[in-house]
Amino acid sequence: MTMAPDMVRHLSGAAVSVELETPDMTLNIGPQHPSTHGVLRLVAKVDGERAFDVQPVIGYMHRGYEKLSEVRNYPQITALINRIDWVSGYANEIPFMVAAERLMGVEPPDRAQFIRLILTEMARISSHLIFQASYPLELGAATPLFFALRDRERVLDLIESVTGGRFHPNFNRIGGVKPAVGAGPVTRKTIQDLPAGFLSETRDAMDQVLSTADQLEDLVAGNEIVLARTKDIGVIPPEVAISYGVSGPILRASGVPFDLRKVSNYLPYHLFDFEIPTGENGDCWDRWWIRLEEIRQSASIIRQAVDSIPSGPLQAKVPRIIKVPAGEIYVRAENPKGEMGYYVVSDGGLGPYRLKIRSASFSNISILPWVLEGTLVPDIIAILGSLDFVLGDVDR
Amino acid sequence: MADAEGSEEDASLAARAAEAVGGVVLEALETAKVGVAADRWAEALRVARDDLGLSFFSWLSAVHWANDPQVGDALSAEVTERFELLCALSDVTAGELVVFSTDLEATDPSIDSLIDVFPGADWHERECREMFGITFAGHPRPENLYLPNGFVGHPLLKSFPLLSREVKPWPGEVDVEDMPEVMEGG
Residue A355 lies in a domain: yes
Contacts of residue B10 in chain A, CB cutoff 8 Å?
none
Using an 8 Å CB-CB cutoff, list chain A residues near B156: 66-67
Nearest to A67 among B88, B95, B162 (CB): B162
Helix A110-138 to helix A143-163 angle (10° resolution) is: 160
> Which is nearest to A356 in space by CA: B91, B62, B82, B94?
B62
Q: Which positions 6-45 of B are in contact with A (Cβ < 8 Å)?
A: 6, 27-31, 33
CB atoms within 10 A of CB A25: 10
Q: Is the pLDDT of residue A155 over 50?
A: yes
Are the C-beta atoms of residues A362 and A390 closer than 8 Å to each other?
A: no
Chain A neighbors of B60, CB-CB under 8 A: none
Asked if A183 has any chain B CB less than 8 Å from its own CB, the reply is yes
Task: Print the domain residue range for A230.
Answer: 74-182+193-368+387-391
Q: For residues A305 and A117, is the Cβ–Cβ distance under 8 A?
A: yes
> Where along chain B do its domains lie?
4-163
The domain that contains A332 carries what CATH number? 1.10.645.10
DSSP A143-208: HHHHHHHHHHHHHHHHHHHHHS-SS----EETTEE-PPP-SS-EETTSPP-SPTTHHHHHHHHHHH
Q: What is the 3-state secondary structure (H, E, C) of chain B?
A: CCCHHHHHHHHHHHHHHHHHHCCEEECCCCCEEEECCHHHHHHHHHHHHHHCCCCEEEEEEEEEECCCCCCCCCCCCCCCCEEEEEEEEECCCCCCEEEEEEEEECCCCEEECCCCCCCCHHHHHHHHHHHHCCEEECCCCCCCCCCCCCCCCCCCCCCCCCHHHHHCCCCHHHCCCCCCCEECCC
Asked if residues A384 and A36 have their Cβ atoms less than 8 Å apart, the reply is yes
Q: Is the confidence at residue B5, as pLDDT, over 80?
A: no
Per-residue pLDDT of A317-376, as tens digits, reads: 888 788 888 999 999 999 999 999 999 999 888 889 999 999 999 999 999 999 998 898
Instruction: Please judge whether B95 and A327 are an interchain contact, meaning their C-beta atoms are less than 8 angstroms apart.
Output: no
Partner-chain contact B58 A68, CB within 8 Å: no
What is the 8-class DSSP label of residue A317? -
Q: What is the mean pLDDT of residues A120-131?
A: 93
Instruction: Count Cα neighbours of A377 within 13 Å in the Cβ-side half-sphere.
Output: 13
Chain B residue with Cα closest to A394: B146
A28 and A43 Cβ atoms separated by less than 8 Å: yes
Q: What is the pLDDT of residues A59-78, one digit of tens each?
A: 888 888 998 888 888 888 98
B122 touches chain A (CB under 8 A): yes
Residue A182 has pLDDT above 90, yes or no: no
- Identify whether A214 is part of a domain: yes
> Among candidates A260, A291, A263, which has minimal Cα distance to A277?
A291
- Quote the pLDDT of residue A86: 83
- Give dist(CA A257, CA A359) in Å, integer: 20
- The pLDDT, as a whole number, for residue B175 is 55
Query: A245 touching B, CB under 8 A?
Result: yes
pLDDT of A125 strictly over 90: yes
Chain-chain contact of A330 with B99 (C-beta, under 8 angstroms):
yes
Say yes or no: B57 contacts chain A, CB-CB below 8 A: yes
Hey, is the C-beta of A358 within 8 angstroms of any chain B C-beta?
Answer: yes
AA letter at B122: D
Residue A166 vs residue A298, higher pLDDT: A298
A339 belongs to a structural domain: yes
Quick check: is A6 in a domain? no
Q: Is residue A205 part of a domain?
A: yes
Q: What is the pLDDT of residue A203?
A: 93
Query: Across the interface, do A186 and B61 touch by the CB < 8 Å criterion?
Result: no
Q: How many separate domains does chain A show?
A: 1
Identity of the residue numbered A327? G
**A272 Cβ contact partners less than 8 Å away, ≥ 6 residues apart:** A300, A301, A304, A305
Nearest-neighbour CA in chain A from B39: distance (Å) = 22
Burial of A160 (0-12, 13-18, 19+ CB in 10 A): middle
Q: What does the pLDDT read at residue A342?
A: 94
Per-residue pLDDT band for B173 (boundaries 50, 70, 90) equals low
State the average pLDDT over residues A95-115: 91
Q: What is the largest CA-CA distance in chain B?
A: 62
Confidence (pLDDT) at A177:
84
Q: Which of B70, B134, B80, B66 is nearest to A67 (CA)?
A: B70
Q: What is the pLDDT of residue B111?
A: 92
ipTM of the shown complex: 0.85
Domain assignment present for A210: yes
Least confident of A28-42, A172-186, A354-368, A379-393: A172-186
Q: How confident is the model at residue A82 (pLDDT cuts 50, 70, 90)?
A: confident
Instruction: Write out the DSSP string of A105-126.
Output: T----HHHHHHHHHHHHHHHHH
Q: Which fold has domain B4-163?
A: Beta Polymerase; domain 2 (3.30.460)
In this predicted structure, the answer to whether residue A115 has a pLDDT above a threshold of 70 is yes
Q: Is the backbone peptide bond immediately before B161 cis, with ω within 30 degrees of 0?
A: no
- Report pLDDT digits (tens) over B15-66: 888 888 888 888 888 888 999 999 999 999 999 999 888 999 999 999 999 8
Number of residues that make up chain B: 186
CB A87 within 8 A of CB A126: yes
Neighbours of B154 (CB within 10 A): 17
Residues of A within 8 A of B116 (CB-CB) are: none
Residue A377 lies in a domain: no
Q: What mean pLDDT do residues A125-137 have? A: 92
Give the pLDDT confidence score for residue A167 in this predicted structure.
84
pLDDT in tens, B109-152: 999 999 999 999 999 999 999 999 999 999 998 888 888 888 88
Query: Residue A128 has what pLDDT?
Result: 94
| Partners of residue B59 in chain A, C-beta under 8 Å | 245, 341, 343, 356, 358, 363
Q: Closest Cα to residue A60, out of A36, A89, A81, A78? A: A36
pLDDT digits (tens, 9 = 90+) for A209-248: 999 999 999 888 888 888 888 988 989 999 999 999 999 9
B170:A71 CB<8 A: yes
Which of A163-167, A182-186, A192-196, A356-360 is predicted least confidently?
A182-186
Average pLDDT, chain A: 85
Write out pLDDT tens, residues B67-101: 888 877 788 888 889 999 999 999 998 888 999 99
Per-residue pLDDT, averaged over A26-51, amounts to: 79
CA angle B99, B102, B104 (to 5 degrees): 145
Whether the CB-CB separation of A324 and A73 falls below 8 Å is answered with: no
pLDDT above 70 for B182: no
Residue B183's pLDDT is what?
47
In this complex, do A363 and B59 lie within 8 Å of one another by their Cβ atoms? yes
Task: Give whole-number Cα distances, A74 to A103, A144, B100, in Å.
Answer: 12, 40, 25
Query: Using CA atoms, how far apart are residues B66 and B78, in angstroms rounded to an integer?
Result: 8
Among A195, A181, A213, A373, smallest CA distance to A289 is for A213
| Short-list A297, A293, A292, A286, CA closest to A386 | A286
Distance from CA of A61 to the nearest CA of B (A): 9
Contacts of A65 (CB under 8 A, 6+ apart): A80, A81, A84, A355, A357, A396
